[in-house]
Structure 1
Amino acid sequence: MSVEGDPGSLVKVVYLLVLSASWGMQCWVTFVAGFVMIRGVSRHTFGLVQSKLFPFYGHIVLCSSFLNLAIYAAYHPRELLSPSESVQIGLFFISLILSALNARWFSPATTKAMFKMQDIEREHGLGGEIGMSSNFEGYKWLREKDPKYQALRKTFMRYHGISSLCNLVSLLCNGANLVFTALLLQSI
């Protein structure tokens, strides 16, 4: 592979640290933190913690995606890209776009709907229980009897689903980029 200048050791270290830290954080937030927290705090506390952490998480993933793409693109001119490098730069771009959408639109929309739902839940004495399966009947009754709550829940579920999908695809893109990096370690 021909490149327009070889990245120095510091650039290589920064690139690998940013990519691996971002992927590790995404794995932790996606597969560990939420599942542990929902079993140990009330639903409303869980929502409050998520609403405080996710803006930072989303913007850190966004910045990491931008840095990874910028570093990679700077040392891989478009005219000289191999097929695997084209895939890798595409994965960085997809991760950047999805993390931007998530950080700037889907995550805030999810949080806004969640807080409105929590206001209605509080009026009905819900939200203080620990775990998602607690008081299932109370939430079912609320969904069936309150059209405003039902509409908010639909909005929440739509945005939460899209946000989760964006996060998961971004995580997979970064994971694939780690694999590419490991296979081509001598030449990031």
Structure 2
Amino acid sequence: MDESWEPGSLTKVVHLLFLSGAWGMQMWVTFVSGFLLFRNLPRHTFGLVQSKLFPYYFHICTACAFVNLCILAPQHAWTRLTFWEASQLCLLLLSLTLAAINARWLGPRTTAAMWALQTLEKERGLGGEVPGSHQGPDPYRQLRDRDPKYSALRQIFFRYHGLSSLCNLGCLLSNGLSLGRLALGLRSL
């Protein structure tokens, strides 16, 4: 391909809708809904909601990144990419990769570890309280101190959860930078 392909108006609109839609969804899930649900739902209910919500969320993020990459990639002559064009493609590829890792690998492992933790907690009568509502010593800390299996499962859960959160923040940042790049390229509002 010798020359750059100039996308039509519909292609530009679809690209902007998918990119801004994914970024808006990521902002909402990352910074609003998770905190609201965590603060207001019983612990195990929160886990159940997240286990149902996150697979869709991660797959939608993956699909949006894929569509955006498919729209943007053919627009440029690969031999003459500018720094900004190459960075835009790299950001979308990074977003696609991180979302796919979350959807296919980290998300299911985090959920499996959470179910194992909840099973042990239910056996001990825990999990029905809203976080921060218990008085006195922390029953989860006591369980962690007394039960090495629970402590090990908790470490596994937090390892996967932490990696998943980093991937999610990477997607959010990649899409935010891509949106910023698009905004800088606007000729008028």
Please state which band the TM-score falls in when normalised by the shorter chain. over 0.9
**1:123-181 deviation line (CA, Å, top 9, x unaligned):** 111100012x3346100011011111111100000000000000001100000000001
For 2:99 and 2:167, the matched residues in 1 are separated by 7
Alignment TM-score, normalising by the size of structure 1: 0.94
Counterpart code for 1:83: F
Please say if residues 20 and 179 of structure 2, whose CA atoms lie closer than 8 Å, have aligned partners that are also in contact.
yes
Q: How many pairs does the alignment contain?
A: 184
Further displaced range: 114-123 or 177-186: 177-186
TM-aligned CA deviation for residue 41 of structure 1: 0.9
The residue number in structure 1 matching 2:150 is 149
Q: TM-score, normalised by structure 2?
A: 0.94
How many Å separate the matches in 2 of 1:73 and 1:149? 47
* 2:4 counterpart SS class: coil
Residue 5 of structure 1: CA displacement?
Answer: 2.4
- 1:161 is aligned to 162
Gaps (5+ residues) in structure 2? none
2:116–2:153 Cα contact (<8 Å) kept = yes
Further displaced range: 33-42 or 48-57: 33-42
Which amino acid is 1:141 matched to? Q
**Which residue of 2 is the match for residue 29 of structure 1?**
29
How many Å separate the matches in 1 of 2:105 and 2:124? 29
* Moved beyond 6 Å, runs of 4+: none
Q: Does 1:170 align with 2:158?
A: no
Aligned-pair Cα RMSD in Å: 1.3
Q: Identity of aligned pairs, percent?
A: 54
After TM superposition, the structure 1 = structure 2 runs for residues 54-65 of structure 1, keeping only pairs within 5 Å, are 54-65=54-65
Q: Which moved more, 1:91-100 or 1:76-85?
A: 76-85
Matches of 2:177 and 2:113, distance apart in 1: 33
- Unaligned residue ranges in structure 1 (runs of 5+): none
Confirm or deny: 8 A CA contact 2:5 2:74 kept in the other structure: no
SS of equivalent to 1:185: coil
